[in-house]
């Protein structure tokens, strides 16, 4: 491994947690999924976190939180929203990928999946392919809406679509209030509503202990908020957001079928945005829209008549109302280590 002069690759321990999180929060590509707490959360549910850093004079210059999933006799390696490095620096990039490969091979890793927190740029695709990586299937949402939080609250409201702005105010006029979760017991309320939402909208959820751990690692550490929208003593909806550096992210949401005419989800997003501003964040990620829309491949975007109830299209239309900018990352890339097993993995997924 040809390291840059005066540099070394090191494992970051619990004792260096503050240094790690400071680097992640301050890096241009930094993301919550590379935070120390996220690794701890995944560690409790079958993923082993390994935090690799390239140090120069004791200071972190590049980093990758690698999550290893153990399988019978083999493992998978995954870097969500990372690694954090300058992809134009060939020496640093090569050193980090070699360090990850060494750790993966010691665990009989089939392949490495990375999802760099970088925009969808042709030059980066070319650079990744030149490193021997190939396009993989995304785990995290590739496309999203990003709301700029700078300016006054009045400026922010003015940037919303008129219908969204109206619905935020309508919820208040109809007596909807928003409160913050005060204890882990509130996570039980959220989970009950989340299961109802998942059954109704046909998506999967983690078990209850996952959200309890999330509350402990993020909310109780001051980096997350769980909000409930109530009307006449009844909880109608809930929203969970978390922050890392200049960015806050809408992580989880749930709602009851009844009471949606009072527009509780609009007021919840507004209060989450206000919370993010209080944390000093300059942007708010609404976390996920259909990738076909970001690619301009959904004909409904050009229609005058738009069916807002149609699955993920409705989710997009809701998020679009908050005036954010559509963003798309470079996506996922895989680095095969055991090509035969990697081929079988892709065949299982239906990839060709």
Q: Which domains does the chain have, with CATH numbers?
A: 7-140+330-349 (3.40.630.30), 143-328 (3.40.630.30)
Distance CA 80, CA 116 (A): 7
Q: In what order do the strands lie in the sheet with 325-328?
A: 177-180, 224-231, 234-244, 247-255, 283-285, 143-148, 325-328
The pTM for the full model equals 0.93
What pLDDT score does 310 carry? Answer: 54
pLDDT score at 37:
98
Give pLDDT, residue 27.
Answer: 98
* pLDDT for residue 313: 76
Low-confidence ranges of the chain (pLDDT < 70): 1, 297-312, 352
pLDDT at 308: 47
CA 283 to each of CA 83, 84, 145, 271: distance values in angstroms, whole numbers, following the listed order: 21, 19, 10, 14
Residues 234-285: tens digit of each pLDDT: 999 999 999 999 999 999 999 999 999 999 999 999 999 999 999 999 999 9
Quickly list H helices, 121-263: 122-130, 153-159, 162-173, 185-201, 208-214
Exposed/middle/buried for residue 134 (C-beta within 10 Å: 0-12, 13-18, 19+) = middle
Report the distance separating Cα 312 and Cα 10, nearest Å.
42
CB–CB of 50/68 below 8 Å?
yes
Q: Give every CB contact of residue 299 below 8 A, 6+ residues apart in sequence.
A: none
Going from the C-alpha of 110 to that of each of 51, 63, 71, 314, 334, the distances in angstroms are 19, 22, 10, 38, 10
Which of 322, 312, 290 is closest to 141 using CA atoms? 290
Nearest to 186 by CA among 221, 223, 154, 227: 227
Return d(Cα 97, Cα 104) in angstroms, integer.
10
């Amino acid at each position: 491994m040809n390291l840059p002069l005066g540099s070394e690759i090191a494992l970051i321990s619990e004792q260096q947690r503050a240094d790690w999180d400071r680097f992640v929060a301050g890096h241009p590509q930094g993301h919550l999924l590379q935070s120390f707490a996220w690794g701890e959360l995944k560690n409790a549910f079958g993923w082993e976190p390994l935090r690799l850093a390239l140090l120069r004079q004791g200071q972190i210059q590049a980093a990758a939180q690698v999550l290893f999933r153990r399988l019978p006799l083999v493992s998978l390696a995954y870097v969500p929203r990372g690694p954090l490095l300058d992809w134009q620096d060939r020496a640093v990039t090569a050193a980090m990928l070699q360090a990850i490969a060494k750790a993966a091979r010691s665990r009989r890793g089939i392949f490495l999946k990375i999802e760099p927190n970088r925009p969808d740029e042709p030059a980066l695709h070319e650079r990744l392919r030149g490193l021997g990586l190939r396009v993989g299937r995304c785990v995290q949402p590739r496309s999203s809406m990003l709301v700029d939080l700078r300016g006054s609250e009045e400026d922010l409201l003015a940037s919303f679509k008129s219908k969204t702005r109206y619905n935020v105010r309508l919820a208040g006029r109809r007596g909807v209030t928003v409160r913050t979760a005060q204890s882990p017991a509130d996570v039980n309320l959220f989970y009950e509503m989340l299961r109802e939402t998942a059954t109704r909208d046909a998506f999967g959820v983690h078990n209850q202990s996952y959200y309890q751990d999330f509350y402990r690692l993020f909310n109780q550490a001051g980096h997350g908020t769980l909000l409930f929208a109530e009307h006449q003593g009844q909880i109608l909806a809930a929203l969970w957001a978390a922050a890392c550096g200049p960015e806050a992210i809408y992580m989880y949401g749930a709602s009851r079928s009844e009471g949606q005419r009072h527009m509780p989800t609009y007021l919840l997003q507004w209060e989450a945005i206000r919370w993010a501003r209080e944390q000093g964040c300059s942007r708010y990620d609404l976390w996920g829209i259909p990738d076909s829309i970001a690619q301009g491949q959904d004909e409904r975007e050009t229609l005058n008549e738009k069916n807002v109830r149609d699955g993920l299209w409705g989710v997009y239309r809701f998020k679009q109302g908050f005036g954010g900018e559509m963003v798309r990352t470079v996506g996922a890339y895989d680095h095969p280590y055991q090509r035969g097993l990697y081929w079988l993995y892709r065949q299982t997924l239906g990839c060709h």
